[in-house]
Amino acid sequence: MTIQIALIDAFADRVFSGNPAGVCLLTHHQEDAWMQAVAAELGASETAFLVPVAGGWHLRWFTPTAEVELCGHATLASAHYLWNRNQVDDEPLRFFTLSGELTARRTSDGWIELDFPATPPEPATPPGALLDGLGIDGVVAVYKSRNDYFVEVSDPALVRELRPDMDRLRSIPSARGVAVTSVGEGLFDFVLRFFAPNVGVDEDPVTGSVHCALGPYWAERLEKNDLLARQLSAREGTVRVGVRGDRVLLAGQAITVLEGALVGEAGDPVPRVAAPLA
């Protein structure tokens, strides 16, 4: 079995920035355990698995340890891969996912824009492990969406300098991850970092899906629906966010880093070596 696969930096303006995503192009559905094993082997924060279906593509996302319901950067990477490998010329691309139908289109300036569901957060009482695990002062507010906690702090420097205790964050129940955010600086309306140790990703470099909550949150706070966000991980990345009622438009750039093939079935034995290696 030979399966096309690529590693693509998403929400990136240069190689080795943004968030790397695996993209695996399949001809038919594979077993969950096989996809999970591939994602663990690649080690990217998410790997996307694409299967052609009527009207578009069936799309699933796996971290190295778990399947997730929504992933922005691996969807961006998937659209980039399909268009740049000349697999399709459809526009918009349609993806059928655990979060419903998602679309991607190319903008006039060469970015890729995703149409995702808005998931505005609600005020929440933080569990003890949340603020203890972050270990920060200057907390303005704590919110929670279906999957994540959101902590607003008073200064971008607090976001950049954060050194959380992953074991404490991992102990938080009923949470995929934790976003720490503040009003932005310079060109950026807001900044953030995102931690998801519960799904095998201590810090996600650039997280598209979390902007489905932060977009509506900052749109209300700043009284504007078109925003520019910067994720302040070591790799950093930029996301354009447009809040449109119950939808959020997420735009970014992507760059292919590696292309190749997966060879062999799960569980295939290692070939015998004819002679000892020197």
Domain boundaries, the chain: 2-105+254-263, 122-245
Select the CATH number that applies to the domain covering 122-245 from these four: 3.10.310.10, 3.30.2020.30, 3.20.20.70, 3.30.470.20. 3.10.310.10
State the pLDDT at residue 85: 86
Amino acid of residue 101: E
Cβ burial of 84 (10 Å; 0-12, 13-18, 19+) is middle
> Which fold is adopted by the domain 2-105+254-263?
Diaminopimelate Epimerase; Chain A, domain 1 (3.10.310)
Query: Catalytic: which of 46, 113, 203, 236?
Result: 46
Residue 179, CB half-sphere, CA atoms under 13 Å: how many?
A: 29
Q: In this structure, what token pair is assigned to residue 26?
A: 């399949």
Residue 46 among the catalytic residues? yes
268: which DSSP letter?
P
What is the per-residue pLDDT for 270? 47
| Burial class of residue 165 (count of CB atoms within 10 Å of its CB; 0-12, 13-18, 19+) | middle
Quick one: pLDDT at residue 278? Answer: 45
pTM: 0.92
**Helix, strand or coil for residue 16?**
coil
Full pLDDT tens readout for the chain, 278 residues: 689 999 999 999 999 999 999 999 999 999 999 999 999 999 999 999 999 999 999 999 999 999 999 999 999 999 999 999 877 888 999 999 999 999 999 999 999 999 999 999 999 999 999 999 999 989 999 999 988 999 999 999 999 999 999 999 999 988 899 999 999 999 999 999 999 999 999 999 999 999 999 999 999 999 999 999 999 999 999 999 999 999 999 999 999 999 999 986 655 554 444 444 44
Whether 122-245 and 2-105+254-263 are alike in CATH topology: the answer is yes
CB-based burial label for 62 (10 Å; 0-12, 13-18, 19+): buried
